[in-house]
Amino acid sequence: MQCFTCPFCGPRDETEFFYGGEAGKERPEPSAEVTAERWAEWLYGETNSKGPSREIWLHLTCGEFFLMERHTVTHEVFATRATRGEEA
Amino acid sequence: MSVRRIAEAAAAESLEFTFDGRPLRGQPGDTVASALLANGVRIVGRSFKYHRPRGIWSAGADEPNAIFDIRLRGATQPNARATMVALEAGMEVRSVNSRPDAERDRYAFLDCFGRFLPAGFYYKTFMWPDWHRFEPSIRQMAGLGRLDPATQPAGATQRNLHCDLLVIGAGPAGLAAARAAALAGREVVLVEQQPRFGGSLLHRPARIDGLAGPAWVEDCLALLRDRGARLLSSTTAYGIYDHRLVCLWEQRGEGGDHLWRVRPRQIILASGASERPLVFDDNDRPGIMSADAALAYLRRHAVLVGDDIVIATNNDSVWPAAAALAEAGARVTIADCRRTPPLPAPAGVELLPGAPVGLVEGRNAVAGVIVGTRRLAADCLLTSGGWTPNVHLYCQHRGRLRYEEARLALVPGEDLEDLAVAGAARGALLLQEALAEGHRAAVGGGEGPRSEGALASFHIEAAWPDPRSARRQWIDLQNDVTVKDVALAARENFRSVEHLKRYTTLGMATDQGKTSNMNGLAALAAVTGRSIPEVGTTTYRPPYVPVPFTVIAGRRRGQLFAPVRRLVLEREHREAGAAFREYGSWLRPAFYGEGSPAEAMAREAQRARETLGLFDGSPLGKIEVMGPQAAALLDFTFYNRLSTLKPSRIRYGFMLQENGVIYDDGVVLRLAEDHFVVSCSSGHVPGVVMRLEEWRQDRFDPGRVVIHNSTAEWATLTATGPASRELVAALDLGVDLADAALPHMAFTTGSFQGQPLRVARVSFTGDRSYEISLPASHAAALWRRMREEGARLEATLLGSEGLMILRAEKGYIIAGKDTDGYTLPMDLGLTAPREKRQDEYLGKRSLFTEEAEKPKRPAFVGLQVEGKEPLATGAHAVERCAKGFRSLGFVTSSYWSPNLQRPIALGLVEAGRQRMGEEIEIYHLGNLRRARIVEPCSFDPEGERLNA
Ligand SMILES: [Zn+2]
């Protein structure tokens, strides 16, 4: 059971969270100009990095999405912070 | 009389229990194991594979043989280790894997076939023709305890705990650590798996800071209590999980077990070491026991394990046991493998140097021991092959072991950042070392407690299993793995220790190889000509001991495993004779009244069209979207534009996933320019909220649009059918019901008993309908009024099943039932937004892919059949091809329509629109039926009844 720190609520058990995807993915728009390859990359392309990773998580309890930097092998969490007003 | 109690407690204090039906007596302070020994019981079970008689080996968590089903207070604990369970009066103790009992086991003959049952025997032999043919009878012979399906043990209480320091193990190292930490002002939790704190101090001789061992233990506990430490006995730390979560299983007997989830800042692991057996021919006979265990039974329980005791050893640690047993009156001989043991024989003990055990006489008990050319009369053989540190939790926490030649043991390497290992768990077998290590681990330095009178040196010489032996030598007692099995596995090229383990099952029993792993590694090393470090060790995984599922599940079972959501009107529905079923997570009336379910559903569906149906639609989503950007957020997240919706109007819309697939359908009400209510399907409320939140936070200004899920705050009561307007009028809600004022797909507000409410003209039946939403607190009163007024209009209560028939007659979809993970909105004929919308919306690009534009996509259609029998839901539409049949799609919904008096069905069929009017074949369980492709709507296609 991992323990994540919601930037709004503090440290909570992992079961309160939901993985929202890798951070930094930009939705390609307008769709009329988006190639099929680019769209497929947006839908299904994941870095799946082994090691440090920047991810979006949702704290189900408070409903806030936030940024988490963590290590996918050791499960060490380096930082969590609100995405508000920042590029995620 | 060989094994017996030498100092009885007062008779008044005796505890009655039974073993395999025999009445026996123990005394307070006994474990089940010590009580059995005190009663002279030697054979406590039958081995897993060969049904050989086995006796008690240890006095701790590593016990491989004494595994029992224990029945007490109406519940059975299966596979309990007798060494870890405190005896209670009334216990019914039953040996496992034996029929009828441990003494007279009818499968004992299996042992004669031992040479035909090598490792992998079952894998190799019962493959043909089919393992499943043999499995039942093999399972009957093998296996351990039996679950008692008649009784449900109580679920454990689960508790969370945060602390500064968690000390695991309350032997000398753990107590020294806890004591030092408490004195330094740290917040300490100390756990001990045995019922009593103290570990080896309860039986091995020592004086610490001037006090006898047990007295020093009491002194430490008093100090810890005084400083506010939490002390948990009979509590096993069985696993360390991610982010330093330590799970503890506290056995509390009658009080009910606890599962503790602890997040400590630091862990000190002082889990001690297990004495491992020496391996020689027939080293599994009942009466062969760990030397340290014999000392523990003597000192803790006044049980003397024999009169003629031979102690076989390769190390110094047996000396205190030899001295104590001799002092208690037994004739004791030490048979030492080493040619020159460094210590002199204790008083009254004969010491034979260079004397490995050759043979054990006796089958159900030890009758004699052959050492070299000498035969020693013996009724008990104690052995010590050295000590294996209990490093499980250290390894679970990613610690790395190293092999220490001087102690012949795998010991922890570096301490971890948040976990230090102290005492015998890191190979420090001498008391003074253990005390100093515990103290240092807690406070970093300084003087620890001082000890005297304990063993002052430890010397050991290798005496590993010899793969050349002709007879069977047992490594894993619980899983019946011999040295020969290891050699066979190596010959068959299972060289990796992980493969060896799985092929031979060495270390895979419920004791997880605590006594056998090191001997197994050494045997594999010897057979393959490698060193022990080269062979390496298997991975340590939780749990450290078997933990009952009931403890892990806690209260999360039965109704609490996945709690259902309940309607605020559940009681009213029950009184009306509702049959409840689960829909999504909601428990809802499926239909009302007596008789067959099919008849009830049909009756309700028919009456609702004739006069009036009353339906509780409270679980329908009511998600409020508010703020200046509310319309923009809904435009983006819905396939249909919602910003063009006028206040007090309603629009039907679809929510897509980014891959274009339909996620949900529902209606959206616009309360004001900046205020909407999304009324999504009941089962999709959490998902729709999450999707709205995701895009609200990602794409919009969260300060200018907010989402509030008010589903549970409002009840929604629906009247449908030709008499619905008359009913609503009679309710006196202060609402103008003229169609000009309240047309279809519009809503208005009114009040009931001073409460605000909303009346919406939406219809899931195709008939004129009114959905009345009001605060849940007043739902019962309004429902009562609706039923009173409805009685006059010949209303029926309408359950979910009847409603399903009505919507299917109209060809209305249920998202997720009539659509699947491939359905795009165009497949339902919803093409307008795709063609017209210039702006961005969720899933848009996916509607223009090659796949989306494929001409033969599945389409949503109706399916009409001859006869009275509805099609099977899930049946496939097929066409014939060279290989037989090819699927064209499948039936998604199918019912008997009471209003049309014929079966109706909906389905997704490849190129279904182009095939309109064609006949196709429907395949189900080997049968073919013909069906005509028709429009989905089979009832009132003009929609005249909406305003009738
Ligand atoms: Zn939060």
What local confidence, expressed as pLDDT, does residue B434 receive? 97
Q: Check A58 against B693: CB less than 8 A apart.
A: yes
Report the pLDDT averaged over residues B167-187.
Answer: 97
What local confidence, expressed as pLDDT, does residue A88 receive? 43
Q: How confident is the model at residue B112 (pLDDT cuts 50, 70, 90)?
A: low
CA–CA gap between residue B59 and residue B511 (Å, rounded): 13
Q: Check A31 against B848: CB less than 8 A apart.
A: yes
Q: How confident is the model at residue B109 (pLDDT cuts 50, 70, 90)?
A: low
Looking at the fold, whether B29 and B41 belong to one and the same domain comes out as yes
Largest CA distance in chain A: 44
Cβ contacts of B824 within 8 Å, gap of 6 or more: B660, B661, B662, B846, B847, B852, B857
pLDDT digits (tens, 9 = 90+) for B324-346: 999 999 999 999 999 999 999 99
Residue A52 lies in a domain: yes
pLDDT digits (tens, 9 = 90+) for B398-407: 999 999 999 9
Contact B144, B416 (CB under 8 A): no
Say yes or no to pLDDT of B201 above 80.
yes
For B925, other C-beta atoms within 10 Å of its C-beta total 6
Q: How many domains does chain B have?
A: 7
What local confidence, expressed as pLDDT, does residue B495 receive? 84
Say yes or no to pLDDT of B144 above 90.
no
Amino acid at B108: A
Looking at the fold, whether B852 and B890 belong to one and the same domain comes out as yes
Contacts of A75 in chain B (CB under 8 A): 242-243
For B753, other C-beta atoms within 10 Å of its C-beta total 11
Say yes or no to pLDDT of B928 above 90.
yes
Q: How confident is the model at residue B772 (pLDDT cuts 50, 70, 90)?
A: very high
CB-closest option in B689, B698, B849 to A36 = B849
Residue B126 lies in a domain: no
Q: Does B659 touch chain A (CB under 8 A)?
A: yes
Over chain A (88 residues), the average pLDDT of each successive run of 10 is: 96 95 94 96 94 96 95 95 67
Give the distance (Å) from ligand 1 centre to CA of residue B425: 40
Give the distance (Å) from ligand 1 centre to CA of residue B694: 14
CATH number for the domain spanning B298: value is 3.50.50.60
Looking at the fold, whether B217 and B359 belong to one and the same domain comes out as no
Looking at the fold, whether B397 and B381 belong to one and the same domain comes out as no
Residue A88 lies in a domain: no
pLDDT digits (tens, 9 = 90+) for B594-610: 889 999 999 999 999 99
CATH number for the domain spanning B84: value is 3.10.20.440
Q: Which of residues 811-840 of B touch A (CB under 8 A)?
A: 840
- Work out the percent of chain B whose per-residue pLDDT is above 70: 95
Give the distance (Å) from ligand 1 centre to CA of residue A17: 9
Looking at the fold, whether B267 and B285 belong to one and the same domain comes out as no
Contact B800, B616 (CB under 8 A): no
Report the pLDDT averaged over residues B108-121.
Answer: 64
Residue A10 lies in a domain: yes
* Cα angle: B939, vertex B942, B945; to 5 degrees: 70
CATH number for the domain spanning A13: value is 3.30.2270.10
Looking at the fold, whether B282 and B262 belong to one and the same domain comes out as no
CB-closest option in B261, B698, B850 to A36 = B850
Cβ contacts of B22 within 8 Å, gap of 6 or more: none
pLDDT digits (tens, 9 = 90+) for B794-851: 999 999 999 999 999 999 999 999 999 999 999 999 999 999 999 999 999 999 999 9
What local confidence, expressed as pLDDT, does residue A87 receive? 47
- The answer to whether the bond into B277 is cis (omega within 30° of 0) is no
Instruction: Return the residue of A nearest to B697 by Cα.
Output: A65
Residue B549 lies in a domain: no
Residue A37 lies in a domain: yes
What local confidence, expressed as pLDDT, does residue B471 receive? 85
Looking at the fold, whether B786 and B887 belong to one and the same domain comes out as no
- Work out the percent of chain B whose per-residue pLDDT is above 90: 81
DSSP B115: G
CA-based torsion, B391, B396, B399, B404: positive or negative: positive
What local confidence, expressed as pLDDT, does residue B627 receive? 98
Looking at the fold, whether B325 and B443 belong to one and the same domain comes out as no
Report the pLDDT averaged over residues B658-668.
Answer: 97
Q: How confident is the model at residue B139 (pLDDT cuts 50, 70, 90)?
A: low
Report the pLDDT averaged over residues B627-654.
Answer: 98
Query: Bigger pLDDT: B138 or B565?
Result: B565
Looking at the fold, whether B937 and B835 belong to one and the same domain comes out as yes
Looking at the fold, whether B283 and B267 belong to one and the same domain comes out as no
Structural domain boundaries, residue A57: 3-82
What local confidence, expressed as pLDDT, does residue B532 receive? 92
What local confidence, expressed as pLDDT, does residue B501 receive? 87
Task: Write out the two tokens for B639.
Answer: 């396939």
Contacts of A20 in chain B (CB under 8 A): 694
- Of A76, A78, A55, whose CA–CA distance to A67 is shortest? A55
Report the pLDDT averaged over residues B861-877.
Answer: 96
Residue B867 lies in a domain: yes
Q: What is the mean pLDDT of chain B?
A: 93
Residue B847 lies in a domain: yes
Residue A87 lies in a domain: no
Structural domain boundaries, residue B262: 157-274+388-452
Q: How many domains does chain A have?
A: 1
Report the pLDDT averaged over residues B361-366.
Answer: 92
The least confident of B554-558, B656-660, B706-710, B775-779 is B554-558
Judge if ipTM > 0.90: yes
CB-closest option in B241, B658, B850 to A1 = B241
What local confidence, expressed as pLDDT, does residue B830 receive? 96
What local confidence, expressed as pLDDT, does residue B480 receive? 87
Closest-CA distance, B234 to chain A, in angstroms, reads 24
What local confidence, expressed as pLDDT, does residue B306 receive? 96
CA–CA gap between residue B220 and residue B209 (Å, rounded): 11
Report the pLDDT averaged over residues B482-491.
Answer: 90
pLDDT digits (tens, 9 = 90+) for B573-582: 999 999 999 9
Say yes or no to pLDDT of B70 above 50.
yes
What local confidence, expressed as pLDDT, does residue B783 receive? 98
DSSP B777: G
Q: Does B709 touch chain A (CB under 8 A)?
A: no
| End-of-domain residue from the set B660, B684, B709 | B709
CATH number for the domain spanning B683: value is 3.30.70.1400
Say yes or no to pLDDT of B861 above 60.
yes
Q: How confident is the model at residue B876 (pLDDT cuts 50, 70, 90)?
A: very high
Q: Check B694 against A58: CB less than 8 A apart.
A: yes
Say yes or no to pLDDT of B136 above 70.
no
Mutate to test the interface with B, among A8, A16, A43 (most CBs of B within 10 A): A43
What local confidence, expressed as pLDDT, does residue B147 receive? 77
Looking at the fold, whether B57 and B104 belong to one and the same domain comes out as yes
Residue B783 lies in a domain: yes
Cβ contacts of B526 within 8 Å, gap of 6 or more: B464, B465, B466, B467
Looking at the fold, whether B599 and B670 belong to one and the same domain comes out as no
B272 dihedral zone (left: phi>0; alpha: psi -120 to 50; beta): left
First to last CA, chain B: 98
Report the pLDDT averaged over residues B35-56.
Answer: 90
Query: Bigger pLDDT: B318 or B549?
Result: B318
Instruction: Return the residue of A nearest to B397 by Cα.
Output: A74
Burial class (CB in 10 A: 0-12, 13-18, 19+), A85: exposed
Contacts of B848 in chain A (CB under 8 A): 31
| End-of-domain residue from the set B692, B709, B726 | B709
